[in-house]
Structure 1
Amino acid sequence: MKIKFNKIYKSNKEKKYIMDVLDNHSISGDGIYTDKVIEFLKRKYSIMNILMTTSCSQSLEMAIRLAKVKEGDEVILPSFSFTSCANSILAVNAKPVFARVEKETLNIDINSIKRLITDQTKAIMVIHYGGISANIDEIMKIAKEHNIKVIEDAAHAIGAFSNGRTLGSIGDFGSISFHSTKNITSGEGGAIYINSEGIDKNNADIMHQKGTNRFEFLNGNTEKYVWKGYGSSFCPSEILMAHLYAQLEDVEKVTEERLKIVKIYNKLVEEFKDILFSYTKFNTESNGHLFYIFFKDLDKANKFKKYVNNKNIDVRTHYVPLHSTEFGKKYKNDFLNYHLEDDIDKKLMRLPLYPALTDSEIEYICKEIRNGFIYCNTSL
């Protein structure tokens, strides 16, 4: 038995919707299925304005520009995050400022944010790691006090909430991912939620349409579409949107199945607190995007991973903290103690988690995870 780390969820409708596009519609963007996806997201998650993109990376780049971050500005973000977060900041020649994360959630630490705010701070980028909300209400208060924007990187968070509000809808902008590693996928894909009424939606449309007024042209409000400003080719094809729409229709089912597995894993690891100091707690507002365990000791972490992988269970680490990479060291804040972050990519282990896991596979995983805990706790 070989158990993979992840398998893409498949509904029974992707082929039907994709064939509908191929048979009856244009396969370029902004068509019928793009409209269907946008209306679904607006209705289900109460989002004001949405633009679909070909990646979450692109939606982060749009958010940074729409927040009017420019050269010389600073954006605070957790060091434990994906490269796209920092790259979106560098794309406008601004400076990424790496904050610490909380031990309990691995989300951005509030006290770290407060210490890092300067007169140059233009925005805070918040990552909801694993589909569990950061302390977004407190972050919004801080941002309001200092008149700075909040960008939610909700790449992990489709179908996840904070106090009943969908993640990505609370800050000024939300960036969503539909990459193949996410709960709901179009292979490659993303979306930007524009939540603040103070954002120029027309400018967002121009940026989204290669710097042109194409939306006005398509709506019959102008005879020609022309170059109006900065833009890029952010728009995904109808084939991707047809695939995505089929998956979105099952988002509640997918979330429910993933949370069932999280609950089982959570019960398994609770008794091993002498080995672990943090794990993804069961949270009814989470979307079950991932389940991680965090070892107190590096040797035990390595021994555990080797044991479980030898049992044909694909267990993986995650991001290398950005401040500790060769490229990212120049942005490290020497007055912060990054002790926890320095160990994350070595001591964190993510377990297989996807709806296609069978009961027998889950039972096998749990048995060998338990055996792995016992094995790695022996004297080395």
Structure 2
Amino acid sequence: MIPFNKPFLTGKETHYIYDAVNSGKISGNGKYTQKCQKFFEETYGFKKSLLTTSCTDALEMAAMLANIEPGDEVIVPSFTFVSTAIAFVRQGAKVVFADSYENNPNIDADKIEALITAKTKAIVPVHYAGVACDMDKIMELAHKYNLLVIEDAAQAIDSYYTGKDGIKRALGSIGHLAAFSFHETKNIISGEGGMLTINDDRFVSRAEIVWEKGTNRAEFFRGEVNKYGWVDTGSSFLPSEIIAAFLWAQIENLALIQDKRKFLHDCYYQNIIANELVKLPLLPNYASNNGHMFYIEMPSIEHRNILIAKLKENGYNAVFHYISLHSSPYYYHKHDGRVLSNSDKFTDCLLRLPLFYELEEKDAINISKCVNAAFDVK
């Protein structure tokens, strides 16, 4: 059985982990943490990068930095992973769910303004599949209503947005704050892991304090203060040096990994025949493709189940996600009752095909043929 995902190891992970352990500094914010953070800042133009133990932690840090409080409202797409919403729910906020585009799982930027009230504090666009949301429209709304934008860029490492000004910007560098994931299903990995990026000067110094359990310990270690103490809220968001060492081996091979993943994505796109039963993913003209995933859209949950079974019969494991958060057991009774038909459609109809570094071209072609044959498409 060809799995949906298989973590790729470069061969240097254990070498760097050994080096980190042998250094005697394994608790975090050591050599490898700083190397990783410097790479992301210099490569993608993030003002400040902080590694975290997960993308969920990065989002929770963002919620703290945004001073989200009970009574605040935060606009979040319904078609996303639970972490996007729960980070703000934990702060006491009311999550206001937004629908997807009809032809794209991303948040429909044209429907956001109608959801803004005097209580709205932030907008959280999710760059699904590493494909950019319409950030010009979202940032214009944020400026108009004095809102914060927190990019959920969990799937969007090494992906870009080209604005109306013609400038190409890395996802995660546009909003005031952004969160990335290095979970084993992502392009580059550390098992579990994440990163908060800070692009607004107002949050830079405080972010480091929140990151370090509410203390100014990082300033102390840099020699900027002669002692450190508890100065703000925070938590234990800083990952161990072992996680950072693992991630560094992946970063060194980022270009290689990206080339292969994008090649496999293109292979699917060129070999799967779009028809009335199978829709291929849409890439807006302002977005780039980072090869994070390849998905197709079926006309119904029944058609999707048929295709999953056909693929499994041929030794291929395809998966689906997410269940719309507005209809989840935890939150449906708090939802305002609006029908989010596009989000529900993607819940029932979206299917993800295997895509990982070690997948071979012939496998992607054979999976494509299986998709085509499932409904007698020639």
TM-score bin (small chain): over 0.9
Structure 2 residue aligned with 1:190: 194
| 2:124 counterpart SS class | strand
| 2:97 counterpart SS class | strand
On the 8 A contact 1:104/1:278 being kept in 2, the answer is no
1:279 counterpart letter in structure 2: P
Q: Could you list the per-position Cα deviations for residues 77-133 of structure 1 after superposition, in whole angstroms to 9, with x for gaps in the alignment?
A: 100011111111111101110000112221001122111000000000010000000
Mapped partners of 1:282, 1:9: distance in 2: 29
1:347 counterpart letter in structure 2: C
| 2:125 counterpart SS class | strand
Which residue of 240, 244, 249 corresponds with 1:246? 249
Deviation at 1:370, TM superposition (A): 1.7
Q: Could you list the per-position Cα deviations for residues 295-354 of structure 1 after superposition, in whole angstroms to 9, with x for gaps in the alignment?
A: 1133222111111112110000011110011112133232x3312222322211100001
Mapped partners of 2:201, 2:334: distance in 1: 32
Root-mean-square deviation (Å): 1.7
| 1:175 counterpart SS class | strand
On the 8 A contact 1:266/1:282 being kept in 2, the answer is no
Mapped partners of 2:170, 2:345: distance in 1: 31
User: Which residues in structure 2 correspond to 1:338-353 (within 5 Å)?
Assistant: 338-353=340-355
Structure 2 residue aligned with 1:299: 302
Mapped partners of 1:219, 1:272: distance in 2: 56
Q: Is 1:236–2:235 an aligned residue pair?
A: no
Structure 2: unaligned runs, 5 residues or longer: 163-167
| 1:198 counterpart SS class | helix
Deviation at 1:278, TM superposition (A): 4.9
1:158 counterpart letter in structure 2: I
On the 8 A contact 1:280/1:291 being kept in 2, the answer is no
Q: Is 1:214–2:214 an aligned residue pair?
A: no
Mapped partners of 1:256, 1:112: distance in 2: 35
| 2:376 counterpart SS class | helix
Q: Is 1:173–2:172 an aligned residue pair?
A: no
Q: Could you list the per-position Cα deviations for residues 7-52 of structure 1 after superposition, in whole angstroms to 9, with x for gaps in the alignment?
A: 1121132122111112223111010000100111111111111111
Mapped partners of 1:48, 1:282: distance in 2: 27
Mapped partners of 1:294, 1:360: distance in 2: 22
Deviation at 1:205, TM superposition (A): 1.6
Deviation at 1:281, TM superposition (A): 4.5
On the 8 A contact 1:280/1:292 being kept in 2, the answer is no
Mapped partners of 1:276, 1:296: distance in 2: 7
1:360 counterpart letter in structure 2: K
Question: How many equivalent residue pairs?
Answer: 372
Mapped partners of 1:373, 1:246: distance in 2: 43
On the 8 A contact 1:151/1:174 being kept in 2, the answer is yes
On the 8 A contact 1:5/1:351 being kept in 2, the answer is yes
Structure 1 residue aligned with 2:359: 357
Structure 2 residue aligned with 1:372: 374
| 1:276 counterpart SS class | coil
2:175 counterpart letter in structure 1: G
| 2:96 counterpart SS class | strand
Structure 1 residue aligned with 2:5: 6
Q: Is 1:94–2:93 an aligned residue pair?
A: yes
Structure 2 residue aligned with 1:113: 112
Greater mean alpha carbon deviation, residues 153-162 or residues 274-283: 274-283
On the 8 A contact 1:90/1:96 being kept in 2, the answer is yes
Q: Is 1:136–2:140 an aligned residue pair?
A: no
1:58 counterpart letter in structure 2: D
User: Which residues in structure 2 correspond to 1:307-326 (within 5 Å)?
Assistant: 307-326=310-329
Mapped partners of 2:243, 2:198: distance in 1: 21
1:171 counterpart letter in structure 2: G
Structure 2 residue aligned with 1:265: 268
User: Which residues in structure 2 correspond to 1:39-54 (within 5 Å)?
Assistant: 39-54=38-53
Runs of 4+, deviation exceeding 3 Å = 280-284
Mapped partners of 1:63, 1:88: distance in 2: 8
Greater mean alpha carbon deviation, residues 189-198 or residues 118-127: 189-198
Structure 1: unaligned runs, 5 residues or longer: none
On the 8 A contact 2:271/2:365 being kept in 1, the answer is no
TM-score by length of 2: 0.94
Mapped partners of 1:262, 1:279: distance in 2: 10
1:181 counterpart letter in structure 2: T
Mapped partners of 1:281, 1:267: distance in 2: 14
